[in-house]
Amino acid sequence: MKKYKIAVIVGSLRKESLNLKTAKALISLAPESLSFEIINIGDLPFFNQDLEATPPNEWVTLRNQISAVDGLLFVTPEYNRSVPAVLKNALDVGSRPYGKNTWNGKPGAIVSVAIGNISGFGANHHLRQSLVFLNVPAMAQPEAYIGNAAELFDDHGKLTNDSTKDFLKSYMEAFEKWVQTIAQ
């Protein structure tokens, strides 16, 4: 059985991030054919085309990390009905210089996580718009909008809600099939 390398991009930088907790839960519930690396996007200098002559080391690292994987798992909060700036910046950095889009053709999936009932719907769909342009085929079904996330974890960051566990496990099984179908 082939092992697929998956980059996990978490759009929240907070130490006690519910998105990071969800990403770790997703990893723990995933099929064995998927291996994961959580990619740090918090230290990326903002994209500025003027810096391309000598790109910052953080940009080069991100581009190399994304180039080396078979698939992408995005876990994002919603900020003002969109994705956090740090996540959009990572997309921009990874898509440049023009003609060298490291995201290109890699199968992706999106999980949005929020403390409220709307569960990051806006961020999820806004991210899908960017992924279309970057040629990242995003898994359409099942969709994953995790609401009321603060109630799902214990004090140690462990997912305690059984129905959410079951859903995330089935989501990761669907993602495995998506990656196997799309990955080259």
Q: CATH number for the domain including 94?
A: 3.40.50.360
Q: Are 69 and 6 in contact (CB under 8 A)?
A: yes
Total domain count for the chain? 1
d(CA 159, CA 155): 10
pLDDT digit string (tens) for 91-146?
999 999 999 999 999 999 999 999 988 879 999 999 999 999 999 999 999 999 99
Range of the domain at 11: 4-182
Q: In what order do the strands lie in the sheet with 144-146?
A: 34-39, 4-10, 71-76, 108-113, 144-146
pTM over 0.75: yes
Residue 37: predicted pLDDT: 98
pLDDT digit string (tens) for 154-177?
999 999 999 999 999 999 999 999
pLDDT digit string (tens) for 49-68?
999 999 999 999 999 999 99
Residue 184: how many other CB atoms lie within 10 Å: 6
**Per-residue pLDDT at 10 exceeds 80:** yes
